[in-house]
Structure 1
Amino acid sequence: MHPTITLAAGRDKRLRGGHPWVYANELQMTPVLKELPPGSLVTLADARGEKLGTACFNPKPLVVARMLDSRPNLAIDAGFLRARLAAALDLRERLFAEPYYRLVHAEADRLPGLVIDRFGDALTVQLNCAGMDRLEAPLLEALTDLLKPSRIVLRNDSPARTVEGLETGIRAVLGEEGPIELMENGARFRCDPLGGQKTGWFYDQRDNRAFVAMLARGRRLIDIYAYIGGFGIEAAVAGATEVTLVDRSAPAMALAAETAALNGVAGKVTTQVGDAFETLEALATKGEKFDVVVCDPPAFVKAKKDLATGLRAYQKMARLAAPLVAPGGVLFVASCSHNAPEEEFAKQIGIGLSKAGRSGRILRQAGAGPDHPVHPFLRESAYLKSLTLQLD
């Protein structure tokens, strides 16, 4: 039997409506609850004693409980986790012909705080809440049983773990170190699951990369926050005549150059190590023009307190990028900032374009691909937003 956590009177409506979280101010917090180990399995009940389901509990953050199942006192073991993983796998196999995708996207896949990216027979795993952290052993057992991976890397370096009061770190729990390969939109990539950003790759931009690559056929493209060249190399493979990749990380640019050669497009691809804004300004001063300009930066708004500063940064990015876009060319801009509302992001991009003396039309407004589903009652978790514009 799990400990029972009781919601305050009248605070169960949202949970009954399908929301998967319970906030600290919705509970009858007691000294006993405060002493529960972070990640403990609990049974949630309303103020009348009716049991509402099984959750993982952490008294430290604002989100103190995350629903796992509507059945109370449920055993959350390797068998339970395997069934949830199998459902997520079935969906991805319906969406994609090749095993390269986000396999689990947290609450939307009914596995709160868990993120898993699949690279063929290699997996990168993020345990972003205390509940999943305590379930590490049965989770790894379930993954091994279901997928028989040759390699598993735990990328437990997310800021979310700090909020949960958890230690951060990266370690391989199965297999050897080194780059791993993936396929996306007809291109091959090597990424580093131990030393790269996030889980090593950004599957969320898959559909946006395909759209930009289509628009870049027979044209020049520059990608200012290139990482290991996703947008640019896919465009080169799709028929772009010239691609310039810019990133401040020398190791990322070295890997991008290797990837260009891997795809037979090294003759089209130039890499450059440099700061994004400084590069944009320098190229504009030289009068450079490109048919497609891609700006997919890291999060400018890392926390709510950074919102005003971050939004100004998106505006500046658009203002500096717009002069590089040839008349009739395309500008792709994106934000992965969870705390930047979509309408505010779009507004600041518009202001930046206006300050640069440019206008045009939005061709596509999009978020992440379907392997990043959104929980219907956690709409705010749809973090990625992007605009593809043609500029006059």
Structure 2
Amino acid sequence: MYPCKVTVKKGAARSFKSGGAWIYDNEVERIEGDFTNGDLVTVLDFDGYPLGNGFLNMHSKLRVRMMTRHAEQQIDEAFLRQRLLDAVRLRKQVIDTSACRLVFGEADFLPGLTVDKFGDVLVLESLALGMDRMKETVLRLLLEVLSGEGLPIRGVYERSDAKERLKEGMERHKGFLSAPFDTKVEIRENGVRYLVDVAEGQKTGFFLDQKLNRRAIQRFAPGARVLDCFTHTGSFALNAGLAGAREVLGVDASALGVAQATENAALNGLSARVRFETADVFELLPKLEAAKERFELVILDPPAFTKSRETIKRAVKGYRDINLRGMKLVRDGGFLATCSCSHFMDQELFARTLQEAARGARKRLRQVYFSTQAPDHPILWAAGETYYLKFFIFQVLDEK
């Protein structure tokens, strides 16, 4: 046990006791012992029963992020090495590790830590104060583990520049954690080549969670006219193009993303059939509908419309509107691929929203595919924040 003890209220910590990863600020009864924010502490139930160890941060609503449910277990280098080894070996079992997420925070029992691998480069993101204080040790151990597993690394870049760090009382930061290297890194996924900008791209530079869903849309692309909305760096569009789509238009509001997507199209020899345009999708779709444009495959991969429970109603409207517009652009018998990446928009609510959109568009949906995030982003049951991506493919039919 650790010297500082955090006791939870009677009847509290239900989420944690059900398998979750956090103790919330309003669940804490008292704190006994000296501490500095980010210190490891032992958490006790209201009756003194030890619940485990984690790190404490008074700046955060996630008051204690739990590292272990065994209070006698010390969080030392041996502990961290085993956690990292377990995470790496899981990825070797479930996914192509040439480009994958090696560490997925709470789902790997390393709260607040994300590590993505792009070829022989790592991108690290630290969003929790306690983990941030362990960062150098964790990185050293991870590099040793990867070398031992036959996955040597030549460079590491940190992308701890998300706003979530401010909630933890930390400043945003990014930069090299190794000798400098060219931050445009080439990877290959599903046969598609990409240049990933680990320094300036969104989040860690590339959304690895859609890997298997990108592969899934390939079967619907041959000979199709395809519209890929919120294309980011062109990943769905390029998968469609590589699979034989006759024409692909990718759209994104980010000029940087569109420039990267255009570069990726050239890298794959697809510039003649796959083009990209900078536009607001919400403004473009009504224009395409008015012009009576139709597509055999429409892909909607928007950013999370909600990051809190308080904004769910507004998010539902956004998802309903964008999907209604998308459905109207699908030729009868064509396909709509659509997703939500917000864990607050749960599967049941998302499905209900899609059904409402279909009624509004006077379309019938025939589901042919459903998936979540790729398995290198494992879902820890009872830790709802680890389940966030819901991905459907529907055949869209006119009313009959």
- Range into which the TM-score falls when normalised by the shorter chain: over 0.9
| TM-score, structure 2 normalization | 0.92
Question: Where do 1:279-290 residues align within 5 Å?
Answer: 279-290=284-295
Moved more, 161-170 or 307-316: 161-170
Q: Tell me: CA distance 1:320–1:145, structure 2 relative to 1, closer, same or farther (3 Å).
A: same
Q: Displacement of 1:16 after TM fit?
A: 4.5
- Determine whether 1:167 maps to 2:171: yes
Match of 1:354 in 2: 359
TM value normalised by structure 1: 0.93
Shift of 1:317: 0.2
- Does the aligned pair in 1 maintain the 2:298–2:326 contact within 8 Å? yes
Superposed CA RMSD in Å reads 1.9
1:367·1:385 contact (CA, 8 Å) conserved in 2? yes
Query: Does the 8 A contact of 1:322 with 1:358 survive in 2?
Result: yes
Aligned pairs (5 A) from 1:268-287: 268-287=273-292
Retained in 1: the 8 A contact 2:53–2:67?
yes
**Offset at 1:39?**
1.6
Matching residue's letter, 2:347: E
> Distance between the aligned counterparts of 1:115 and 1:24, measured in 2?
23
After TM superposition, give the deviation of residue 95 of structure 1 in Å.
1.6
Runs of 5+ consecutive residues of structure 1 not aligned to the other structure: none
The answer to whether residue 29 in structure 2 is matched with residue 28 in structure 1 is yes
Q: Counterparts of 1:114-153 in structure 2 under 5 Å?
A: 114-147=113-146, 148-153=152-157
Q: Which amino acid aligns with 2:154?
A: S
1:96 maps to which residue?
95
Alignment of 1:255-266 (within 5 A): 255-266=260-271
Query: CA offset at residue 218 of structure 1?
Result: 2.1
For residues 204 and 107 of structure 1, the distance between their equivalents in structure 2, rounded to whole angstroms, comes to 16
Q: How far has the Cα of 1:48 moved from its partner?
A: 3.5
The CA deviation string for residues 85-129 of structure 1, in whole angstroms up to 9 with x for no partner, is 111111111122442111111111111111111112111111111
After superposition, residues 299-314 of structure 1 pair within 5 angstroms as 299-314=304-319
Aligned residue for 1:359, secondary structure, equals strand
Aligned residues of 2:95 and 2:376 also touching (Cα < 8 A): no
TM-aligned CA deviation for residue 389 of structure 1: 1.0
Matches within 5 A, 1:221-370: 221-370=226-375
Contact kept, 8 Å, 2:40 with 2:130, in 1: the verdict is yes
Q: 1:85: which partner in 2?
A: 84
CA contact (8 A) 2:369 2:394 kept: yes
Equivalent AA in structure 2 for residue 160 of structure 1: E
Distance 1:80 1:240, change over 3 A: same
Q: How many residues align?
A: 390
Once residues 271 and 393 of structure 2 are traced to their aligned partners in structure 1, the CA distance between those partners, rounded to angstroms, is 26
Asked whether the 8 Å contact 1:7–1:28 carries over to 2, the reply is: yes
Q: Over residues 62-88 of structure 1, what are the superposed CA-to-partner deviations in whole Å (9 max), with x where a residue is unaligned?
A: 221122123325443443222211111
Q: Which residue of 1 aligns with 2:149?
A: none
* Preserved CA contact (<8 Å) 1:36 1:58: no
Residue 41 of structure 1 deviates from its aligned partner by 0.5
Distance 2:353 2:15 in 1: 33
CA deviation after TM superposition for structure 1 residue 371, in Å: 0.8
1:173-252 matched pairs, under 5 angstroms: 173-174=177-178, 175-252=180-257
Is the 8 Å Cα contact of residues 78 and 141 (structure 1) preserved in structure 2? no
Deviation at 1:14, TM superposition (A): 5.4
How far off is 1:57 after superposition?
Answer: 1.1
Give the Cα–Cα distance (whole angstroms) in 1 for the partners of residues 218 and 130 of structure 2.
40
Partner Cα separation in structure 2 for residue 301 and residue 248 of structure 1: 18
Structure 2: 5+ residue stretches without partners: 147-151
Q: Percent identity?
A: 35
Summarize the Cα distance change of 1:201–1:80 in structure 2 as closer, same or farther, 3 Å threshold: same
Q: Contact 2:125–2:158 (CA<8 Å) still a contact in 1?
A: yes
Q: Could you tell me how far apart the structure 2 residues matched to 1:12 and 1:331 are? A: 41
Cα 1:277/1:19, change in 2 over 3 Å: closer
CA contact (8 A) 1:5 1:43 kept: yes
Q: Give the equivalent residue in structure 2 for 1:105.
A: 104
Change (3 A) 1:137 1:366: same
Post-superposition CA distance 1:143-198 (Å, at most 9, x none): 22223421212111223322222211222212324211222111111111111111
